[in-house]
């Protein structure tokens, strides 16, 4: 008799963003004329940069001719893109990451969700709270947690972000094997300093742990004194895997391209404590279960690193950061405490009431969609996340509608 | 201390097609001038159909304008594509599959690799031999097998395809929970009749099993008397998940689009033998770990179902089938026994020697790449697969080079 993976029973309700979509759809159905402004899911709204469009078209034309047609590409991604990543995202920061340490994929969600497969089932995991729900949910599905009780899964070490620690979790006082970090953080928008990352890398080296470093929002960092990659920290290559994405950087949420860096010296151990390198494991995982990213999409991503591309991408980021500044300013002036929004497109707001209640209030009264903080973990209850991804006009409208609702 | 997933140690050498690529690259390095004809990996070589190119460009243009730009799409795929699939791939065969039973993805490799996640770890699995290696390898990684001994993994029921049964495995004489089937078969090219699938569906209903039906090569079926989908069999929706792909159908190997059908009545059980529906589980898996297929790629796939698209795709298939006929005819006239090639782009050939020896012989003497049958399982030893995916000119050349080598 075929049996299901019963770990799925432990999952709480539906995936956060599906739940939001369902509530918004229900509201829209009941209020068919009503205009809704979405500052919820964190989806970009501006067109792809022109350089990307041009490269995209050119690559589609290559697919139209037998002589230039591309069939299966390398599972790890084309060298033309991996070389650019190595040069522009790492070498410019004084970091040496070789192209073959870079694995191009169709999304950081897939990569941060799939990476746990290469680790043992009995791995002790530390996950920030609040944080992007994929880290936790994929480990629940894989059976690494116990039951869900009082807002928490058994067998998970929660790294708590609270008002007291400025939403930057302290190091755990116990041994953990696998640590998820996300900076600039989703949802709080807080960033990691060199000191902080130094402490984590030291911890991971001392405890023989691995850090999964989600840097999907790296492009929004404005402060030059902040690290842009965890590999700016000495010794990080031995202990850290980094995730990046073009989704927010260059507007690729609907185009799909991202990458994961597994340095060749990054290590883990077998049950007899013998050291193994993770690069080969992830390569095997990708070769067996993945078939590479669409060729025209990789060409569009490559264009991000052209001279024009760098300018156009910066313009996109600046646009959203102007939105972020407006949201932060107005919510603060309404008397709401905010973090984030300075080096991140997300503003994390103390809602002074239950998260979903505040979500419902903004949806029903203002027609504005935010994300309830409790969807990111127990520490997120009483908070909401507002995203800067929309047109400036819509953000201005949304802020005014929120003002009317909350005043 | 972070521990690796030691199931990876059980995997044999590297993934088949990576190993072939490595050998071909080594040969090319030693013989830099030598022209190599690739009839190995089964990768298409003809340009995308013109309708797909046009739709692709149009969708890229939508991404260039804020007003038509698409961000995150539905994880399950856009309705415009799922409706076409429902209408053209199923309704035309008298089968009712609703759009929301269809999950669009970036490849059948990903889907057939990931689907095992929704089943229990102690599932008893039946896998054909020979067959596409992904089914087995992904279950090895997930810990569903024992060690590899004498060419076989413990805890796997192998469905043996041999000359005696015409490479169409018999039903197992024991209870199995999860059955992988692939028709038209990769690598043998043999097909399933209505009678055969009826027997399997009966078996699955009686034994409360689930069938994973890989129909990636369905478009190559020429014989009208053959089923095109497992759902043409009564009762199949309760027990079968079907996988399809645009890779071989429409030349999408480098463009990446596929889909999986999980009918709403398809069921499995929990440990107390209570029935559960798989549709919700797969939906949850996809929503949590996947972010949908690139919008322009889905628009290109949709174009396959236009009037012109149907004609252009048929032309592609006919072209490759002419190649297949030539390969089958010439190999037969050289005294090699062949199956496949009639309703499939693959010809399965008794090599009368060790598979890898024959592979090396064709590579080194003829400069032709085939796929060693042993890479598809122990029953494949002594066989090779030749693929019809290349230009007619190259296939003719390859066949002549093979003739010279083998005569």
H helices of B92-174, in order, are: 108-114, 134-141
- How far away is chain B from the Cα of A335, in angstroms, using its nearest Cα? 32
Residues in chain B: 407
User: Which 8-state DSSP code applies to residue A169?
Assistant: P
Q: How far is CA B128 from CA B159, B162, B171, B214, B397, in A?
A: 4, 11, 10, 12, 33
What burial letters (b/e) apply to B352-362, b meaning 16+ CB within 10 Å? Answer: eeebbebbebb
- Compute the average pLDDT of residues A199-221: 98
**What confidence score (pLDDT) does residue A21 get?**
87
Spatial CB neighbours of A393, under 8 Å, sequence gap ≥ 6? none
In tens, the pLDDT along A167-176 reads: 999 999 999 9
H helices of A85-159, in order, are: 108-114, 134-141
- Compute the average pLDDT of residues A180-207: 98
User: Which 8-state DSSP code applies to residue A133?
Assistant: T
In tens, the pLDDT along A300-342 reads: 999 999 999 999 999 999 999 999 999 999 999 999 999 999 9
In 3D space, the residue among B258, B216, B331 whose CA is nearest the CA of residue B85 turns out to be B258
**Which residues from chain B sit within 8 angstroms of residue A251, using beta carbons?**
69, 71
Residue of A nearest to B62 (CA): A47
CB contact under 8 A, B177 and A1: yes
Residue of B nearest to A251 (CA): B71
What's the CA gap between A121 and A119, in Å, rounded? Answer: 7
CB contact under 8 A, B288 and A15: yes
**Which residues from chain A sit within 8 angstroms of residue B5, using beta carbons?**
117-121, 281
What burial letters (b/e) apply to B46-64, b meaning 16+ CB within 10 Å? Answer: bbbbebbbbbbbebbebbb
What's the CA gap between A151 and B229, in Å, rounded? Answer: 45
**Which residues from chain A sit within 8 angstroms of residue B390, using beta carbons?**
none
Say if residue A14's pLDDT is above 70. Answer: no
CB contact under 8 A, B141 and A43: no
* Residues of chain B scoring pLDDT < 70: 14-15
Exposure of B273 by Cβ count < 10 A (0-12 exposed, 13-18 middle, 19+ buried)?
Answer: exposed
Q: How far is CA B176 from CA B142, B171, B203, in A?
A: 18, 10, 10
Query: Domain A53-307, CATH 3.40.640.10 — does that match?
Result: yes
Q: How far apart are the first and last CA of chain A?
A: 59
CB contact under 8 A, B117 and A41: no
Give yes or no for a contact between A140 and A382, defined as CB atoms under 8 angstroms apart. Answer: no
For chain B, the C-alpha Rg in angstroms (whole number) is: 21
CB contact under 8 A, A119 and B2: yes
Triad B300, B302, B303: Cα angle to 5°: 70
- How far away is chain B from the Cα of A374, in angstroms, using its nearest Cα? 17
Q: How many CB atoms lie within 10 A of CB B309?
A: 23
Assigned fold of B53-306:
3.40.640
Same CATH topology for B6-47+308-406 and B53-306: the answer is: no
Q: Where are the beta strands (DSSP E) in B191-288?
A: 210-214, 240-245, 258-261, 267-269, 275-277
- Compute the average pLDDT of residues A143-149: 94
CB contact under 8 A, B2 and A268: yes
- Compute the average pLDDT of residues A67-78: 97
Spatial CB neighbours of A116, under 8 Å, sequence gap ≥ 6? A123, A138, A139, A142, A144, A178
| SS3 assignment, position B348 | strand
Plot region of B310 (φ>0 → left; ψ -120 to 50 → alpha; else → beta): alpha
**What confidence score (pLDDT) does residue B12 get?**
85
Residue of A nearest to B71 (CA): A254
Q: How many CB atoms lie within 10 A of CB A170?
A: 12
pTM of the model: 0.96
In 3D space, the residue among B156, B134, B129 whose CA is nearest the CA of residue B145 turns out to be B156
Nearest to B289 among A47, A109, A291 (CB): A109
Nearest to A269 among B4, B251, B287 (CB): B4
Give yes or no for a contact between B376 and B187, defined as CB atoms under 8 angstroms apart. Answer: yes
What's the CA gap between A383 and A359, in Å, rounded? Answer: 10
**What confidence score (pLDDT) does residue B223 get?**
97
CB contact under 8 A, B141 and A45: no
In 3D space, the residue among B22, B24, B19 whose CA is nearest the CA of residue B39 turns out to be B24
**What confidence score (pLDDT) does residue B170 get?**
95
What's the CA gap between B389 and B323, in Å, rounded? Answer: 8
Q: Domain residue spans in chain B? A: 6-47+308-406, 53-306
Nearest to B269 among A4, A293, A391 (CB): A4
Give yes or no for a contact between A280 and A251, defined as CB atoms under 8 angstroms apart. Answer: no
Give yes or no for a contact between B362 and B335, defined as CB atoms under 8 angstroms apart. Answer: no
CB contact under 8 A, B270 and A6: yes
**Which residues from chain A sit within 8 angstroms of residue B14, using beta carbons?**
284, 287
What's the CA gap between B189 and B186, in Å, rounded? Answer: 6
What's the CA gap between A295 and A71, in Å, rounded? Answer: 8
Residue of A nearest to B258 (CA): A291
- How far away is chain A from the Cα of B407, in angstroms, using its nearest Cα? 32
In tens, the pLDDT along A345-388 reads: 999 999 999 999 999 999 999 999 999 999 899 999 999 999 99
Q: Could you give the ipTM of this predicted complex?
A: 0.96
- How far away is chain B from the Cα of A148, in angstroms, using its nearest Cα? 17
Q: How many CB atoms lie within 10 A of CB B29?
A: 8
CA A302 to chain centre: 20
Nearest to B208 among A1, A61, A65 (CB): A1
Q: How far is CA B1 from CA A112, A119, A175, A206, A231, in A?
A: 20, 11, 8, 10, 21
- How far away is chain B from the Cα of A333, in angstroms, using its nearest Cα? 31
- The tokens describing A250, both together, are 């260059």
Triad B141, B159, B329: Cα angle to 5°: 110
CB contact under 8 A, A6 and B271: yes
Nearest to A141 among B11, B72, B117 (CB): B117
Own/partner contacts of B226-230, CB < 8 Å, gap of 24 or more, are B226/B191, B226/B192, B226/B193, B226/B194, B226/B343, B227/B192, B227/B193, B227/B194, B227/B197, B228/B93, B229/B89, B229/B90, B229/B93, B229/B95, B230/B181, B230/B197, B230/B201
* β-bridge pairing B37-38 and A178-182: unpaired
Interface test with A, best of B107, B256, B387, B395 (most A CBs within 10 A): B256
What's the CA gap between B138 and B117, in Å, rounded? Answer: 9
In tens, the pLDDT along B135-194 reads: 999 999 999 999 998 889 999 999 999 999 999 999 999 999 999 999 999 999 999 999
**How crowded is the C-beta side of A191, counted as CA atoms within 13 Å?**
21
Query: Domain B6-47+308-406, CATH 3.40.190.10 — does that match?
Result: no
- How far away is chain A from the Cα of B295, in angstroms, using its nearest Cα? 6
- Of all helices (H) and strands (E), which one includes residue B28? helix B16-30
In 3D space, the residue among B37, B129, B18, B141 whose CA is nearest the CA of residue B388 turns out to be B37
Nearest to B8 among A207, A254, A284 (CB): A284
Residue of A nearest to B114 (CA): A289
Nearest to A284 among B15, B46, B118 (CB): B15
CB contact under 8 A, B134 and A56: no
**What confidence score (pLDDT) does residue B151 get?**
83
What's the CA gap between B1 and B73, in Å, rounded? Answer: 39
What burial letters (b/e) apply to A255-265, b meaning 16+ CB within 10 Å? Answer: bbbbbbbbbee
Triad A281, A283, A285: Cα angle to 5°: 70
**Which residues from chain B sit within 8 angstroms of residue A48, using beta carbons?**
63-64, 69
CB pairs A-B closer than 8 Å: 267
Cis amide leading into B184 (omega within 30): yes
User: Which 8-state DSSP code applies to residue B168?
Assistant: -
**What confidence score (pLDDT) does residue A3 get?**
98
One-character DSSP codes across B41-97: S----SPPPHHHHHHHHHHHHHTTSTTT---S--TT--HHHHHHIIIIIIGGGT---
Exposure of B368 by Cβ count < 10 A (0-12 exposed, 13-18 middle, 19+ buried)?
Answer: buried
CB contact under 8 A, A2 and B293: no
């Amino acid at each position: 008799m075929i049996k299901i993976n019963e770990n799925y029973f432990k999952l709480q309700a539906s995936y956060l963003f599906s739940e939001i979509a369902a509530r918004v759809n229900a509201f829209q159905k009941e209020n068919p004329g009503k205009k809704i402004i979405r500052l919820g899911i964190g989806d970009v709204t501006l067109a792809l940069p022109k350089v990307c469009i041009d490269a995209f078209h050119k690559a589609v034309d290559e697919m139209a001719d037998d002589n230039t047609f591309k069939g299966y590409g390398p599972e790890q991604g084309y060298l033309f893109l991996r070389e650019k990543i190595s040069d522009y995202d790492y070498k410019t920061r004084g970091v040496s990451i070789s192209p073959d340490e870079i694995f191009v994929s169709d999304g950081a969600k897939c990569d941060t969700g799939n990476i746990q497969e290469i680790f043992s089932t009995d791995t002790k995991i530390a996950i920030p709270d609040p944080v992007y729900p994929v880290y936790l949910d994929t480990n629940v599905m894989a059976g690494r947690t116990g039951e869900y009780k009082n807002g928490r899964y058994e067998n998970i070490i929660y790294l708590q972000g609270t008002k007291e620690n400025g939403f930057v979790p302290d190091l755990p006082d116990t041994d953990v094997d696998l640590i998820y970090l996300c900076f600039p953080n989703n949802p709080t928008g807080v960033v990691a300093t060199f000191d902080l990352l130094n402490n984590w890398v030291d911890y991971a080296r001392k405890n023989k742990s691995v850090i999964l470093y989600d840097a999907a929002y790296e492009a929004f960092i404005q402060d030059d004194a902040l690290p842009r990659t965890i590999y700016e920290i000495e010794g990080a290559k031995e202990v850290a895997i980094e995730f990046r994405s073009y989704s927010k950087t260059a507007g690729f949420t609907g185009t799909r391209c991202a990458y994961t860096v597994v340095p060749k010296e990054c290590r883990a151990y077998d049950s007899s404590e013998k050291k193994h390198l993770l690069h080969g494991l992830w390569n095997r995982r990708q070769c067996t279960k993945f078939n590479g990213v669409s060729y025209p999409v990789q060409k569009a991503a490559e264009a991000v690193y052209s001279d024009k591309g760098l300018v156009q991408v910066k313009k996109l980021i600046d646009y959203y950061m102007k939105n972020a500044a407006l949201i932060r300013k107005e919510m603060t002036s309404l008397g709401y405490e905010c973090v984030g929004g300075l080096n991140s497109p997300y503003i994390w707001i103390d809602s002074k009431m239950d998260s979903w209640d505040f979500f419902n209030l903004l949806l029903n009264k203002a027609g504005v969609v935010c994300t309830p903080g409790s969807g990111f973990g127990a520490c997120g209850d009483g908070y909401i996340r507002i995203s800067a991804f929309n047109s400036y006009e819509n953000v201005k409208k949304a802020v005014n509608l929120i003002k009317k609702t909350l005043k």
